[in-house]
Structure 1
Amino acid sequence: MFLHTIDEEVSLKLASLEDAEELFQLTDTSRNHLREWLPWLDHSKTLEDTKAFIQNGRKGFAENKSLTTLVIYHGKIVGTAGFNEVDHTNKIVKIGYWLGKDHTGKGIMTRVARALTEYAINDLHMNRVEIRVADGNQRSSAIPKRLGFQKEGRIREAEWLYDDYVDHVIYSVLASEWEGKKEIK
């Protein structure tokens, strides 16, 4: 089981099927908010879809290919975050995240992304941490900027978002750069 306490308010935990109902309710009540930037909402319409998501996340964790955690804030599930991909050969992880509509603007995801970066570099001994953000998603882009990640460039038409392609902007930090940046708020 993966459980990581970030501070007195925020922690991360590997989801279990017992979390499915609460995660589904958060997703469902945040659907319009999340739909602007996340392409998977049409594939997550039922409690069974959420259970499949949890099982898939646990499988990826067991196979050491990904890490999908629940973001816990004051004891409640407020989103998900983790490593969408773990590349052990090249020592690269790609962080992905989302928060429910009522939980943004509190600094939660900045703390989560910082903790995931620390974990990737210090515990997993990764060399590179990436965050890819849909072009135009200012709130999500603010997180890697705040943490001192470098903007590297753009992948054109990287993702189909319901009715159009969106570009992705790539941000990264290297292990050799992180030591001096981890105190950035």
Structure 2
Amino acid sequence: MNASAWPPPRLGAPGLVLRRWSEGDAAILLDAVTESHEHLRTWMPWAQDAPSLEGQRAFLRSSVDAWDRGAEFVYGVFDPEETAVLGCVGLHRRAGPECLEIGYWVHAAHTRRGLASTAAALMTDVAFALPGIDRTEIHCDQANAASAAVPRSLGYRLDRVQPRAAVLPAETGRDMVWVMSRDAHGDSEARRRALAARGR
């Protein structure tokens, strides 16, 4: 794979920094996951166990390896000084070679500030700069109104609601699949939001 097959390792936006995880982020990631545990465990299967430093180190090792292989690209969302984790956002190859799925979570103390929408807009922009990507998707359970508000606000189209095994008590087992095509992206709110975040 050539260099164009990887996204930039770092992105800046007003009030936050997105950069690829490093193994040195374990301590501040543990702080964020611990402080947000009750918030995250409602919707995140990986957040069901008590957070641990070794668990965060294992996640970061996996993230670094996946990035290096081009399998997926996961960013930490940091404050401008990069001393605190505000959330996480990533591009995942789950739906075929021409599609990247965007996933995200936000620290409990930083919800309702538009962080997820800004991060997802930037990821949408980054995804379509990669070769061979024609579609991005965002998936969330039908009951997760806060998560669904993100693709809706960015101009994603609700493509379908499909059955999925409910793993957590809050889930309905009906997965909303929101889609953005390359053609639609150029005139979308996601594109406008990404350009504004980058000061363009």
Q: TM-score, normalised by structure 1?
A: 0.90
Residue correspondences, number: 184
Deviating 4+ runs (over 6 angstroms): none
Aligned-residue offset at 1:149: 0.4
Higher RCO, 1 vs 2 (CA within 8 Å, ≥6 residues apart)? 2
Structure 2 counterpart SS, 1:81: strand
Give me the identity figure in percent.
22
Equivalent runs, 1:64-75 vs 2, <5 Å: 64-75=70-81
Query: Please, what is the CA RMSD of the aligned residues?
Result: 2.2
Structure 1 counterpart SS, 2:43: coil
Per the alignment, residue 82 of structure 1 pairs with: 90
Equivalent runs, 1:56-71 vs 2, <5 Å: 56-71=62-77
Per the alignment, residue 179 of structure 2 pairs with: 172
Structure 2 counterpart SS, 1:71: strand
Deviations 1:84-134 (A, max 9, x none): 3266x6311001000110011111111110110000002444100000011
Q: TM-score, normalised by structure 2?
A: 0.84
Structure 1's 64 and 3: CA in aligned 2 closer, same or farther, altered over 3 A? closer
Per the alignment, residue 12 of structure 2 pairs with: 6
Task: Supply the AA of the counterpart residue of 1:12.
Answer: L
Deviations 1:2-43 (A, max 9, x none): 532232312211111211011011101111011111111134
Structure 1 counterpart SS, 2:180: strand
Contact 1:6 1:115 in 2 (8 A): no
Aligned-residue offset at 1:45: 2.6
Equivalent runs, 1:1-185 vs 2, <5 Å: 3-43=9-49, 45-75=51-81, 76-85=84-93, 90-161=97-168, 166-181=173-188, 182-183=191-192
In structure 1, the gaps of 5 or more residues are none
Task: Supply the AA of the counterpart residue of 2:181.
Answer: L
CA distance in 1, matches of 2:163, 2:94: 23
Task: Supply the AA of the counterpart residue of 1:145.
Answer: R
Aligned-residue offset at 1:170: 0.3
Query: Which structure has more strand as a fraction of its residues?
Result: 1
Structure 2 counterpart SS, 1:160: coil
